[in-house]
Amino acid sequence: MNKYSIGEFEEVVMLTVAVLYENAYGISIKEEIESRLERKVSVGAMRTALNRLEKKGYLDSEFGEATAVRGGKRKRYFKVTPLGKKVLQQVMETRKQLWDSIPSVAFDFKFG
Amino acid sequence: MSENIQISPPKLPTRFLKWFCNPLLIEDLEGDLSELFVERANKNHFKAKLKYILDVLLLFRPGIIRSFDIKNRLINTSMLRNYLKSSIRNLLKYKSFSSINIFSLTIGMAACMVIFLFIRDEKSFDAFHEKNMYRLCEIQSFPGTNTQKVALSMPGMGPTMTDQFPEIERYTRFWSWGSQVIRRDDKSLIAERVVGVDSTFFEMFNFNLIHGDRREVIGGPLDAVISKDIALRLFDNIDVVGERFDVDDNEYVVRGVMENVPKNSHLQFDIALSVFASGNEVEAFNNRFGSNFLNTYLILNKEADIEALTDKFPAYLSRAMDNPDINEIYKLFLQPLPEVHLASMDIEHDYNNYRKFNGQYLDVFVLVGIFILIIASVNFTNLTTARASYRSKEVGVRKTIGAMRRQLFNQFIFESVLLALIALVFAIILVTVSLPFLNNLIDRQLSIFPFLMDIEFIPIAIGITLILGIIAGLYPSLYLSSFKPIVVLKGLKNQEKKSIFRSSLIVLQFSLALGMIVCTLIVVEQLFYIKNKDIGFSKDHIVLIEMNGEMQESFNEMKEELLNQSNILGVTASGQRLGNNFHQWGFKVRQDTGMLNLTPSNVHVDYDYLDVYGIELKEGRTFSKEFATDDGLAFIINESFAKELGFDKPVGEKAGHGWYPNDSLGTIIGVTEDFNFNSLHYKVNTLSMVVHTAWGYSEMSVKINGKNVEAALNEIENIYSKFVTDYPLQYEFLDDHFNELYKSDQQMGSVITIIAVLSIFIGCMGLFGLASISIQRRIKEIGIRKVMGASLQELMILLSKGFATMIFISFVIASPVTYVFMSGWLENFAYRIDINPFLFLIGGAVALLIALATISFHVIKAVRANPVSSLRYE
């Protein structure tokens, strides 16, 4: 098995953080995932995932600016660390290898 | 503005979030949530709120919840454990001081607990009845007699007042009929306390009914409620509703069975019948005025204004009794039920008031309890402060290592609280052990066990203990924690100035103790005075026997036979018993100006009453069978009454009962010395005595030979059983009855005595400890003085002088306060001692002697020690 284990939701979160690049904070990540994947994400689930990923060293975070709608609280911006990138790449590669290994007849569905 | 309010997220969930959330995550999380909320709130405020709450709840998950910082707590408990350890080591190291401290606190707390139990018991009186209940009482100002408060009222008052005043919801009367023989088939027994009540009685007084409906148990004149005890004795069963029994010639039906009346009820009875069982017509009885012979209780509605109601009584009374002048004699007032037990000491003719107690004494007890606690805490404060030098090194080291003053202060407070808690445990044990003995002394059934189970008692007890520990430890803790590490660690003794604070605490302690000693002496002297005062007749060796029907008939034969016995010195009888005020009724004398109507106390007696009781005649003669007119037409009055009448020579004047026609009056045949037929709380009232053989007597008085009581009682028993068949002999000694009159005072005396002894004891323990410390400190001085040639005597005086001065100051402070306080107490007695200044000297001398004896142990030890041992290292 791979030494970097990562769940599907975690992968989605990390990819989204990467997509958003400099604008990846709690709400924007949540909304991005919700709009792209058309699924509901709770603040709690997402925050736990972000937290976990940061602890593993795949994400890094720093405080940004505070705004009035946030009740004067600062945003925490996330970005993917080099380690994170490596993990994502590895996941992607694993998948790719798997795709490549599928015999062509396997998906040759005949209807009728 | 409303915009602003709308966009702020709900407070409560936010607070919850802040509480559980990991502080590292809280800021941006809160920001995110609030941003989301604002966005959602723009669409639907209510939904946004719900979602917000949901989000917060969903955040309550591992990874977000902060770790509840266990590390900090570990430090705290280990510090506390350290305090505990060093406290216990200190306690064990200085065993004598620890035991003095703990022991004096234990005694103080135990005394307070007993006082608490006693007060709770007294306050529990009548607490279980309906609220808003009042007893109707009267202030009577009859001509020719002392003004008096009376618990009795007239039968017509209850019903007519309830009719006329909307404030009064209901009434019941309570009419005591004494003991009666009750029969069922061939079984008979004596019910000692039979009473007549109204149908409302059991609805107003919540005595526990085991069987029967409280609204219906006293419906008709032949209905009865009996106690469980009577039911068991008469029927061997308690489910006896519907059963019948006889009293005299009437047959009564049991409608209810009640639990035996509890001891904490001022009304006591075994059988309750209807007031109309007396054979009175309802209509006539409910409108009967004139004589007061029963108790009336009223329940007022909640809005009733007592004062306004009382103001309407005079108009009512003159209307009801059809006499505009009646208010000069009677003034009605309402006594709240809770006061009946505790505030009736000035009320006379108070026959249905079981174990009534002087409520003021409860305040005295509270005061005395506080005093003994102060005395005990002073011991703690003083000893701990005086011993400060023993612990100065510890303080120094702790401070050097980095302890803050606050922490040290906390440590010492912790120690004193710990000590107080230990004392609490001991106190509970001590109370448990000593209560049986105390119950015996003060005639109560106090128990601490119900309180130990009580959810309220334990926190209160612990709370008070904590406060006590903190107060007692406050000064020593401040003092100890103030040491400067360099000074104490270098071994420099703190500048040992004389502590005024400590001395004044000792003065306080001994003032209280001394005051209580003197109080005890005065109380004891007054009680001794009461017991031994010449009250004008002999109350010793008189046996009282209640006279029932059979005895009435055979009174003369019985008396004759009794007088033939060798150990019986005299036999007489009367309508009322000595020791209470006698009933008052009208008395008239003919004067030059016309008839004079007065209302003295009256008692009807047998011919030889004055001889048997040894009542001295001043003028005239005693009753004699040789004069036919002596039966009903001859009066013997007392000196006070003679003065009131104003005759130069009252003997021979025409006089009679109020209802005698003016043309058939009797004669005053004698005047007696004043004798105290009432308790010594009251002045001697005016009195008239008369013989009425036809009225029958209520009680026989037998004077017996005091040297041979046993034999005399046997003789009475024998003769009694010859004449009376179905009524066993029941007797009482008159002096027992008199002791009962001063029971409240005697119990107060016992309590004060015990507390005084305890407080001087605690004070001396403290002194013992202090003496040991202060002498220890001067051991070198003593050594040097001895070397220089001081004599033992000189040294002893030197060492005792300081303590003696403090006792003297206490004496000066305590004496005037005690004097004022005790003068107030003596006001309770119409006959009292003058406070003897000598008693104060005795009290002071006793305190001084005890104190000197206490410290002498240390003084003598120090003085006799070899100076070499104390000076060797210098």
B72 CA: distance to closest CA in chain A (Å): 24
Q: Residue B5: list chain A partners with CB under 8 A.
A: none
Q: Residue A65: list chain B partners with CB under 8 A.
A: none
- Rounded Cα gap, residues B119 and B369, in angstroms: 11
CA dihedral (A32, A38, A41, A46) positive or negative: negative
Q: Cβ separation of B61 and A74 shorter than 8 Å?
A: no
Determine which helix (DSSP H) or strand (DSSP E) holds B530, and give its type and residue range: helix B500-532
Q: What is the DSSP letter of B133?
A: E
Among A9, A70, A77, A78, pick the best mutation site for testing chain B contact (most B Cβ within 10 A). Answer: A70
- Rounded Cα gap, residues B594 and B599, in angstroms: 17
Please identify which residue in the block is written with the tokens 């510890």. B394
Beta carbons of B420 and B105 less than 8 angstroms apart: yes
- Which parts of chain B register pLDDT below 50? 1-5
Sequence-distant (≥ 6) Cβ neighbours of residue B358 within 8 angstroms: B342, B345, B744, B745, B748, B828
Burial of B33 (0-12, 13-18, 19+ CB in 10 A): buried
Beta carbons of B819 and B729 less than 8 angstroms apart: no
A59 CA: distance to closest CA in chain B (Å): 15
pTM assigned to the model? 0.71
Sequence-distant (≥ 6) Cβ neighbours of residue B316 within 8 angstroms: B160, B161, B164, B165
Please identify which residue in the block is written with the tokens 């401070």. B399
Other CB atoms within 10 Å distance of the CB of residue A28? 18
B37 CA: distance to closest CA in chain A (Å): 9
Sequence-distant (≥ 6) Cβ neighbours of residue B239 within 8 angstroms: B211, B257
Q: In chain B, whose CA is at the least distance from the CA of A62?
A: B28
Q: Residue A26: list chain B partners with CB under 8 A.
A: 28-29, 31-32
Interface residues from chain A to B (CB-CB < 8 Å):
25-27, 30, 42-45, 47-48, 51-52, 63, 66-67, 69-71, 73-76
Q: Residue A73: list chain B partners with CB under 8 A.
A: 27-28, 30-31, 34
Tens-digit pLDDT profile for residues B378-420? 888 888 888 887 888 888 888 998 888 888 898 899 999 999 9
The whole-number pLDDT of residue B201 equals 93
The whole-number pLDDT of residue B812 equals 93
Q: How are beta strands B666-672 and B634-638 bridged, if at all?
A: parallel
The whole-number pLDDT of residue A37 equals 86
The whole-number pLDDT of residue A1 equals 43
The whole-number pLDDT of residue B72 equals 52
Tens-digit pLDDT profile for residues B95-128? 888 898 899 999 999 999 888 888 888 888 888 8
Q: Residue A30: list chain B partners with CB under 8 A.
A: 32
Distance spanning both ends of chain A, measured CA to CA: 40
The whole-number pLDDT of residue B813 equals 92
A91 CA: distance to closest CA in chain B (Å): 25
Q: Cβ separation of B28 and A69 shorter than 8 Å?
A: no
Number of H helices, E strands in chain A: 4, 2
Beta carbons of B731 and B541 less than 8 angstroms apart: no
Q: What's the CA angle centered on A42, arms B64 and A18, to 5 degrees? A: 90
The minimal CB distance from B25 to the residues A45, A47, A75 is found for A47
Q: Cβ separation of A52 and B63 shorter than 8 Å?
A: yes
Sequence-distant (≥ 6) Cβ neighbours of residue A91 within 8 angstroms: A4, A6, A11
The minimal CB distance from A27 to the residues B9, B36, B59 is found for B36
Q: In chain A, whose CA is at the least distance from the CA of B51?
A: A42
Q: In chain B, whose CA is at the least distance from the CA of A77?
A: B28
The whole-number pLDDT of residue B44 equals 84
Other CB atoms within 10 Å distance of the CB of residue B206? 12
Among A40, A47, A76, pick the best mutation site for testing chain B contact (most B Cβ within 10 A). Answer: A47
pLDDT above 90 coverage of chain B, percent: 30
- Which parts of chain A register pLDDT below 50? 1
Q: How far is CA B851 from CA B303, B359, B384, B513, B808, in A?
A: 59, 35, 20, 11, 11
Q: Cβ separation of B61 and A76 shorter than 8 Å?
A: no
Q: Cβ separation of B30 and A71 shorter than 8 Å?
A: yes
Q: Residue A70: list chain B partners with CB under 8 A.
A: 30-32, 34-35
Q: Residue B34: list chain A partners with CB under 8 A.
A: 69-71, 73
DSSP E strands: which ranges in A3-111?
Answer: 59-66, 74-80
Q: Cβ separation of A44 and B33 shorter than 8 Å?
A: no
The minimal CB distance from A43 to the residues B7, B38, B58 is found for B58
Tens-digit pLDDT profile for residues B505-553? 889 988 998 898 899 899 889 988 988 888 888 888 999 998 877 788 8
Q: What's the CA angle centered on B240, arms B239 and B244, to 5 degrees? A: 180
Please identify which residue in the block is written with the tokens 């037409």. B633
Q: Cβ separation of A42 and B55 shorter than 8 Å?
A: yes
The minimal CB distance from A75 to the residues B31, B39, B63 is found for B31
How many CB pairs lie under 8 A apart between chains A and B?
Answer: 71
Q: Cβ separation of A71 and B58 shorter than 8 Å?
A: no
Number of H helices, E strands in chain B: 30, 26
- C-alpha closest to that of B768 among B867, B865, B863, B861: B861
Q: Residue B63: list chain A partners with CB under 8 A.
A: 48, 51-52
Q: Residue B64: list chain A partners with CB under 8 A.
A: 44, 47-48, 51
Q: In chain B, whose CA is at the least distance from the CA of A65?
A: B28
The whole-number pLDDT of residue B873 equals 65
Q: In chain B, whose CA is at the least distance from the CA of A43?
A: B55
The minimal CB distance from B31 to the residues A45, A48, A74 is found for A74
Alpha carbon B14 to its chain's center: 56
Q: Cβ separation of A71 and B34 shorter than 8 Å?
A: yes
Please identify which residue in the block is written with the tokens 């039906």. B253
Distance spanning both ends of chain B, measured CA to CA: 84
